[in-house]
Structure 1
């Protein structure tokens, strides 16, 4: 143990942690060569540990009589209070808004994704009293026969016990407002009465007034950066950016009233952070930049909405104290010396390779959350005065970290020279030579894989497979050049990026060329089908999960949830990113897997949710029928109660077991 740190267990929470410890002991006693499928699926005994502002208590989700309910724990005494008692719903996300009050939404873990009617916004005191519904759930709206609008938490109101700033689209479905919401009385005060329209991001000053905004025209996708000098001053249009050109993203105001923004105007690629000079109407001092990664609002352009700023401010003084970077591994750069020293101490003490995030508390203690590609994570409290680090909870205590697979950061060159970031998960106890491989492709495609505990990758590795997860061109967070290089390249250079990564692993001797499979969900399912069609000699099998089989349907199926919710914006973006079904029809058809069934020779497993509204099951059915017409029907698994993904524990167990059997049959262990 490092001399500068004392690591102790928190014995005051023995009652709370006994359930997790019992599961861990039982797992150890019944240790088998393979970790049971159920261990990758089961929910944590305590989930989403979140400390109150003072750090004297924390809230968490825990299963009570078969439902995930909200608990509050007194850290010093170990007292546990159940503050919700749902019997027909489960608490989903929650946040502390003050030392004694929380807000939360609900879901239903006994229903598949296709049948979810959760959501809403509720509030409750830390002692279980004062409960109030602030925004209806989807079921409430359906019962009242009305269209459901949303009210969601935006940020706390410092110094207030009961109020929050909330995001709301009640006044306009296409142009959300910010409101000041009293969680006890339900009183709403509109902050953005003179909304400039179609706002995607808001930035509030220290007085919680909306002073900067970014709006996006849903038809042209042009963005506008707005600013005003005070809450009563008129909005000024400071910059207009055409679609897919660098825009100015307002991030936050500091204690002096300076506005920080993110933009790629200077680099024409990676977003950097600047102070903005509103008088001159131009960028000021550059605060931070990274040569490989964007620094700015992380979001999906297909689903515009509020995204978290990477800047970290002191909750009391509002001074800028740190910066989070979503790199190969997440990291935090602290501008405050004492926090920088604590970060260095945590990184030196906790398991090597883990990502350790700090949350300073009002009492001087620091919450430390640690996790990594090979570690599902734990929460600690660190006392700088005592140099004492106490483990509070390890939510997945039944998982043996010693048996977890190693996750490596990998970079390789695509055939045209573009650098592709990736992750390689290697099965524990096996030499990295001539391994069977599953290329597991992320969805989106405008998303990214991250360095984290990934149950899919860890499950596959536990069965003896290496797992490659490439952030192919079109993935987000690596600059606009990497992102836009994927536009209109689905099934083309985006597919080559996957193949080139596999080729490198084969050339390096890590992977057995005769035992390679490809799989993934959503776009990953599309990439699976295209991989089988383009590289029939490479892939011995494929696993298509809720995948797209026809590119034109992505735009033409008007009953998908995405096209219904933002039809104009969806169409404008997809026509540029995928193709125009009129002018680009020939190339889109040429890269639609259902029309390439004759080229697919390898065995295929198709898994879909019957209620999928993002990629309707017609995609899976058309692929099945096309392959069957060629005399090669795929294996078929449909969950009637699921949608675009699988929520029910029994379904997820069946999902993993079916994949396990399919892979064992075709590329062995």
Structure 2
């Protein structure tokens, strides 16, 4: 069957040299893993609400911590935290600009606690000091500056009770005891306004919250078919309007405004191609100023003339995709990230009064001047006619000009996203750059079940694990082979979480299609996966059952067994590498243990890498680098690409190899040398 391909040339990022004659990829310098996967120089630069400070994440003695500097002197940064093991990966400003707030867990267990560090004193406090508890941020307001609303599940691990957190004293005051609600929406006065209750059919019902409690009559009902991409996202400052991302009565989700009193819904923005996924709000009124969709790339539609002019100026001045990452309360200054893909991302200070841009930092300056590869957005047609938005990266110098097909088919890595209810998008991707630099074509596919492309596309994945979802991946590989991009005999399948499951499916259900597989924290047994989900996933359990299968029914249990790679482990005939975090609360270590044990019993080679201080993925750069060192040696052995020797990459990591050290070249020497 012929697969159709549509290159979106107007949106393609070129190569670093802008095209022209092809050069041998072997002449392109090898980019060291450390420069791609080590700590960034700086990341997540954000202005304080009052505009006085700039904060960011950067390493302190090798571990990512929070830093701050006066905005007028960004070179005078000082570290505000002193984490020594677990990196800080996200944070936010307190509304009063007095503190930085962040969440962190222990060893990847996802029992997140909330911490705060005072800008003036440097004192760090644990604001939710509870064991085996996962904090949620429920409400942050620019209007109410002295407190937040947080959810804490220390009473019942399934449900988060709502507390008001006084930022000055750290005192927690119970606002609402949760008896079965999935979540809550608060207004700008930090008053709870809506409660979401999960339904048996996998949907949700929303109820108003008043001074008298949660009302009995539903305010809105979301059926299962709309559950993946419909929900309220907040209120205007006056509390009279609630905004929705809403796919009811349409396929792709629109941005809607609903009058709180009359219930009348008003359309603000909609595209038939993709869901609305981003909005810009006025910092004072919380009225919508612009909205965005992400189809092949992010596209903004401005509703406010001034914002339209700002966005036009930024797009004209900066080469590459832009995103506004913070805005001061007076809205005079923004931080803007520019991502050209063929160069490292750069963060800028934008002064709206003077229409000037000042560079604050480059995230990875060590990559400046490197021959980074571009990324091409694609539309690939599946066998049943569905359009699969995909992203292709080719090795620098492997092809000619325009959308440059390689001069001969390349080994390829099919890189599958997790979720599966998530998506791949255009932009800088360290894995694409790394693998392309090693000589591989890299293809990421938004298979059915992915989100962002309408409810029909997401719903088309229901019940299709190891079915039509996998066929989409096979169709994309077939397109790459037919287009002369991929060598059919040298295709690897690799991914994390659901992507790891897809890698296992590839080697069990269709072992003839792939030369090897890399599974990172992927489930091998869907029965045990669903029986061990964290208790705080209770609210979404029925929706998962609808999208997979109900383990409480005979038919559902049979489906889960049949679609589990473990059931078909005897079919594996190609090399497999598995990476797992011992503390993973989502995909337990037993998921990897089971498939490894089955392969050992069947005499099938497998290399099993375990990190005792990681969870669902590898947060510590030393561990991520260690696993990737093993991965590129493993891939080079099977696919024939270039590789940086493992060398000393494992020494500072916590890596353990319970089985199969002999199946990956150089691994035994690196561990024991």
Matched, 1:410 2:391: no
- Pair 1:331–1:152, CA change in 2 (3 A): same
Structure 2 unpaired stretches of 5+: 1-26, 400-404, 642-673
Show the counterpart of 2:38: 42
Show the counterpart of 1:590: 562
What is the TM-score when the length of structure 1 is the normalising length? 0.82
- The Cα shift of 1:248 comes to 6.0
Matched, 1:284 2:265: yes
Show the counterpart of 1:72: 68
Partners of 1:248 and 1:446 lie apart in 2 by 13
- Pair 1:158–1:277, CA change in 2 (3 A): closer
- Pair 1:637–1:505, CA change in 2 (3 A): same
- Pair 1:656–1:149, CA change in 2 (3 A): closer
- Pair 1:178–1:331, CA change in 2 (3 A): farther
Partners of 2:189 and 2:626 lie apart in 1 by 52
- The equivalent position to 1:224 in structure 2, one of 205, 212, 233, is 205
The two structures, once aligned, show a CA RMSD in angstroms of 3.0
SS at match of 1:315: coil
Show the counterpart of 2:114: 121
2:104 touches 2:113 (CA, 8 Å); kept in 1? no
Deviation readout 1:427-449 (Å, 9 max, x if unpaired)? 22211321211001111222222
Partners of 2:420 and 2:52 lie apart in 1 by 42
Show the counterpart of 2:290: 322
Partners of 2:61 and 2:640 lie apart in 1 by 40
1:157 touches 1:165 (CA, 8 Å); kept in 2? no
- The equivalent position to 1:566 in structure 2, one of 537, 551, 554, is 537
What is the TM-score when the length of structure 2 is the normalising length? 0.82
Deviation readout 1:411-456 (Å, 9 max, x if unpaired)? 1111111111111122222113212110011112222222232222
Show the counterpart of 2:59: 63
Show the counterpart of 1:237: 218
- The Cα shift of 1:504 comes to 0.9
- The equivalent position to 2:616 in structure 1, one of 639, 644, 647, is 644
2:53 touches 2:70 (CA, 8 Å); kept in 1? yes
The equivalences for 1:85-484 within 5 A come to: 85-87=82-84, 90-98=87-95, 100-105=97-102, 107=104, 112-113=107-108, 119-129=112-122, 131-136=124-129, 141-142=130-131, 147-148=132-133, 150=135, 152=137, 154-158=139-143, 160=145, 162-169=146-153, 173-192=157-176, 198-204=181-187, 206-217=188-199, 219-227=200-208, 231=211, 235=215, 236-245=217-226, 249-255=231-237, 257-267=240-250, 269-281=251-263, 283-295=264-276, 310-352=278-320, 354-357=321-324, 359-361=326-328, 362=330, 364-371=332-339, 373-400=341-368, 402-431=370-399, 432-433=405-406, 434-484=409-459
Partners of 1:537 and 1:157 lie apart in 2 by 57
Which is worse superposed, 284-293 or 87-96?
A: 87-96
- Pair 1:427–1:248, CA change in 2 (3 A): closer
1:155 touches 1:164 (CA, 8 Å); kept in 2? yes
1:132 touches 1:184 (CA, 8 Å); kept in 2? no
The equivalences for 1:439-588 within 5 A come to: 439-556=414-531, 560=532, 562-567=533-538, 569-570=540-541, 572-581=542-551, 582-588=554-560
TM superposition outliers: structure 1 runs of 4+ over 6 Å: none
- The Cα shift of 1:568 comes to 7.1
Structure 1 unpaired stretches of 5+: 1-30, 297-309
Show the counterpart of 1:8: none
Partners of 1:345 and 1:244 lie apart in 2 by 40
Deviation readout 1:503-539 (Å, 9 max, x if unpaired)? 1111112222222111112221221122123333331
Deviation readout 1:458-492 (Å, 9 max, x if unpaired)? 21111011111111111112221111111111111
How many residue pairs are counted as aligned between the two chains?
Answer: 601
1:248 touches 1:262 (CA, 8 Å); kept in 2? yes
